[in-house]
Amino acid sequence: MGNWASIGFVVLGIVVYGLLFHLNRHQRVPWGSICIASVGVLRALTQFVIRPSMGNGALAAVLVLVAVFFVYVTVFYTRTPPHSPTLGPGSPFPDVPLHNLVGEKSEISDLQGESGALVVFFRGSGCPACRRELQLLQSCLPDIQRRGLALVAISVEAPEVSARLREQLGLGFHVLCDTEFQLTDALALRHERGYLGKDVATPTHFLVDARGIIRWVHRADHTLIRPSLNEILSAIDDALPPGGVSLAADPG
């Protein structure tokens, strides 16, 4: 019974973390989940001390390894690299040609709305936090367009991969591909070996006005944490005057 309780606490800690992630309530350091899992580890170690046996020792070792891996992934692996901003509010946004989903070249200035564009860099189609954020942005798309902005998402994945992602998630906004890292490097957003050993873009939001000037930047310091929709809309309202019209062109 004691062994099952130890396993249960570790599993519960991981499940709680997953639930909070799904509800967008997770923290940079998931202390609650770590504490719950630690109870299971301590119970297993205590059981081994009180009743030394091969089985109790093996269980304690496995739970320690699981807990250490959980802490590493949720606390250290998910951090983004230190960053010294090269371009911030007031700087021109680099107008670098990128591939759209049919392989043609597009620039942000070609896609922007009357008031500009909200440009969102994401890690890729395999990132759960990115997929969730893109779906949330889709739900907020009418509010963004009413403010005269186009919404443009950018990753370093190939057009065919991004096209599948856009179809799977039912996205109605532009998705561009910076496969050669031209814009990503111009903005110092490359996260080397950031996802399964591959270089990706650091999750970052840019609000660019109609003249191509950056008005707001949010760069994630944790790969699982993004600004809320309310934060994004508030930043838009604070940085840009009210008004504007929706982008009429079909996204691609």
- The domain that holds 178 is classified in CATH as 3.40.30.10
- Quick one: which of 91, 94, 112 has its CA closest to 183? 94
| pTM recorded for the entire structure | 0.77
Q: 106 and 34 in one domain? A: no
Q: Are residues 217 and 126 in the same domain?
A: yes
* Of the residues 77, 109, 126, the one at which a domain ends: 77
Is 87 part of a structural domain of the chain? no
User: Phi first, then psi: what are they for 114, rounded to 5°?
Assistant: -60, -35
112 and 225 assigned to the same domain: yes
Return the pLDDT at 123: 94
Residue 82 and residue 62: Cα distance in Å, rounded? 33
Q: How many domains are there within the chain?
A: 2
Tell whether the torsion through CA atoms of 166, 194, 22 and 138 is positive or negative: negative
44 with 124, same domain: the answer is no
In this structure, are 65 and 141 located in the same domain?
no
Same domain, 45 and 120: no
Residue 137 placed within a domain: yes
Both 113 and 61 in a single domain?
A: no
Residue 154 parent element (H or E): strand 149-155
Query: Which one-letter amino acid corresponds to residue 121?
Result: F
What is the per-residue pLDDT for 20? 80
CA distance 218 to 85: 11
Q: Decide if 92 is inside a domain.
A: no
Whether 135 and 220 share a structural domain: yes
Measure the CA–CA gap between 60 and 7, rounded to whole angstroms: 9
Per-residue pLDDT of the chain (252 residues; tens, 9 = 90+): 568 899 999 999 999 888 887 676 666 678 899 999 999 999 999 988 888 999 999 999 999 999 999 988 888 776 776 665 567 899 999 989 999 999 899 999 999 999 999 999 999 999 988 999 999 999 999 999 999 999 999 999 999 999 999 999 999 999 999 999 999 999 999 998 878 889 999 999 999 999 999 999 999 887 777 888 999 999 999 998 765 443 334 445
Q: Does 23 fall in a domain?
A: yes
Task: Scan for tokens 């923290």, then name that residue.
Answer: 27
**Domain enclosing residue 151, as ranges:** 98-239
Helix axes of 31-50 and 54-71: crossing angle, nearest 10 degrees: 160
φ, ψ dihedrals at 131, nearest 5°: -60, -45
